[in-house]
Amino acid sequence: MRHLIAASALALLAAVPFTPARAIDCTGSPLNHDQKRLLGGTENLCTSYGGKVILVVNTASRCGYTPQFEGIEKLYKTHKGDGLVVLGFPSDQFRQEEATDESIAKFCTANYGVTFPMYTKTRVDGDDANPFYKDLKAATRHAPDWNFNKYLIGRDGKVLAHYSSRVTPDDPKLLEAIKAELAKPAPQAAAPAGNAVAGR
């Protein structure tokens, strides 16, 4: 039974087709980057999640902060219906991550039941950092100095804040900031040009 549950959870981490939101102008947005999902498939973060409140976390499987996965998953499940999405970026930059994407996925699902979107293992600082993380650093003047740093992005696609590893998923200041953004109206997705139907 546990294997069936783990297999189902792994399927959730795999590439899932998302309906393009296009709720914000992606031009120049820090979200306007294509990222490879943990178990395959590529998506544009702005197209997939523009208009949502986004918490970005660099994760690791063998870190003292790894138990934060539990709280992060709980936070995601509690507020995803309100417009929150968590984006997890595994990184071995601090020598505490599994060797392969497959082993990362198995660890996350078997131990913490992770269902929020996770991406392929990446670097989060330095000249060879993921370009998305370079933009997060430019916006906040903070690069991750350890695992489980967090960045909050508002519904308008702008980076609002950086939080250190010590800020837990249930920290009042983080929850207050998330709820304040969730309370804002979601941008309305623009209809693609040329899709208007006469008489409707």
pTM for the whole thing?
0.85
> In angstroms, rounded to a whole number, what is the distance separating the alpha carbons of residues 88 and 13?
10
Task: Give the per-residue pLDDT at 40.
Answer: 86
- Does the structural domain 2-182 have CATH classification 3.90.870.10? no
pLDDT tens-digit profile of 84-132? Answer: 999 999 999 999 999 999 999 999 999 999 999 999 999 999 999 999 9
The pLDDT tens digits for 22-45 are 479 998 899 999 999 998 899 999
> Under 8 Å CB-to-CB from 179, ≥6 apart: which residues?
none
Q: What is the mean pLDDT of residues 153-165?
A: 97
**How far apart are the C-alpha atoms of 190 and 66, rounded to whole Å?**
39
pLDDT digits (tens, 9 = 90+) for 53-79: 999 999 999 999 999 999 999 999 999
Please determine, for residue 187, whether its predicted confidence score (pLDDT) is greater than 60: yes
**DSSP state letter for 17:** -
Residues marked active site are found at: 63
How far apart, in whole angstroms, are the C-alpha atoms of residue 151 and residue 161? 6
